[in-house]
Structure 1
């Protein structure tokens, strides 16, 4: 039994980044578990449900919302470490981890060009005091951990693949809720900058409100471009 951790939604201009940690026996995972990017939405949802239904499993999920992503005193590499660390702490805080003898093995999909640095930072962040985005009273004593991180772990390691599925399904659910809250604008698309539906939504929302919506990462160049275009349009009309 060991823990895998991964995140989904690092690059979109809309919605949160979601990190998930799954602690279980890899032999009990669904046989078809795989990197979430290789699975259809229906298959991801089915695997997510199978993981949640395991007799012995601990799952931790954390959200890094646009307001946090837009903070000027941070960067996406650090936020990826922080998001994964929050998810790991949640998964380790219950009885499943407490029943493991010795350090808990943690395998992460490295969100940094330097795998060793990412693994080292992840271990440091897991050991830190919970930050303001967490409720300290939800976290019990944490066991010692042994962290390794590698690129492509979501494709190579079944526990990291399981975490990638949970993260992706959770983000998709959040995006569905966001989409529903802006139903006057139709389909928001995938939330990625390259999606024409996403760009159309941002242009129309900014034209109506003069600013990007709360679900958008205003520090992304996509938002900056839309705001600049709207400002220029207003000048042209004047």
Structure 2
């Protein structure tokens, strides 16, 4: 017979992100390794933001993890610690660029620009996901699930998320009524209701299905 809930073994915790990939690159003679990630591919409004982070092996902030697994307050704390100890750059791809290049193309564009904007020349970019951004001046290694397994990518995920959330909060003030400062542009019931009542604004991604449906009505 099935075990009662209290008798079932708890699922093992997910492995913590490590510095193993960066250390392996150092062992090959590389010295500047950047983690790269994005925030904001899925929302109906606002930019997609990519970040690149080169961690200092001697001063890695404690508690780095996939930004989605952290509270907003903890992300802010870690953002400050990352900026204080690491080399950081982030780039926002506007709604117009998303519409021109599509979301994948805009994301890869922003990633490439973030790496280029570091101020130091990366020798390797560890990139969350399946794709390596085109035009990089260094080698790249895509890492599926890298934001949860590679410390440099986890740091980049935090920087990208905090930077984008701040942008969306400002857009919430500029375009009141949509609630951007709360849902960050994602397709929540609040956001969909505001879209129906107010119609899309210039921040909205016109080719994303819920927005396109309203424009076509």
Under a length normalisation based on structure 2, what TM-score does the superposition of the two structures give?
0.79
Q: Distance in 2 between matches of 1:86 and 1:7?
A: 12
Structure 1 match to 2:5: none
Q: CA deviation at 1:78?
A: 2.1
Structure 1 match to 2:175: 182
Q: Distance in 2 between matches of 1:63 and 1:187?
A: 20
Answer yes or no: is the 8 Å Cα contact 1:81–1:125 preserved in 2: no
How many equivalent residue pairs? Answer: 184
Answer yes or no: is the 8 Å Cα contact 2:178–2:191 preserved in 1: no
Q: Distance in 2 between matches of 1:107 and 1:60?
A: 15
Structure 2 match to 1:192: 186
The C-alpha deviation readout for 1:75-99, integer Å capped at 9, x for no partner, is 32222211100000001xx2xx36x
Q: Distance in 1 between matches of 2:57 and 2:91?
A: 22
State the secondary structure of the residue aligned to 1:126. coil
Match of 2:135 among 125, 130, 139: 125
Q: Distance in 2 between matches of 1:27 and 1:154?
A: 20
Q: CA deviation at 1:186?
A: 6.0
The C-alpha deviation readout for 1:161-218, integer Å capped at 9, x for no partner, is 00000000000000100111122x263441112x011112212222xxxxx2011001
Please give the root-mean-square deviation of Cα atoms over the aligned residues, in Å: 1.7
Q: Distance in 2 between matches of 1:9 and 1:60?
A: 16
Structure 2 match to 1:107: 126
Answer yes or no: is the 8 Å Cα contact 1:4–1:22 preserved in 2: yes
Q: CA deviation at 1:70?
A: 1.2
State the secondary structure of the residue aligned to 2:136. helix
The list of structure 1 runs, each at least 4 consecutive aligned residues, that deviate by more than 3 angstroms after superposition, is none
State the secondary structure of the residue aligned to 2:79. helix
Under a length normalisation based on structure 1, what TM-score does the superposition of the two structures give?
0.72
More helix by share: 1
Answer yes or no: is the 8 Å Cα contact 1:26–1:159 preserved in 2: no
Summarize the alignment of residues 56-205 of structure 1 with structure 2, pairs less than 5 Å apart: 57-71=86-100, 74-91=101-118, 94=119, 97=120, 104-110=123-129, 115=130, 118-119=131-132, 122=133, 124-127=134-137, 145-183=138-176, 185=177, 187-188=179-180, 189-190=182-183, 191-193=185-187, 195-205=188-198
Any gaps of 5 or more consecutive residues in structure 2? 1-31
Answer yes or no: is the 8 Å Cα contact 2:178–2:195 preserved in 1: no
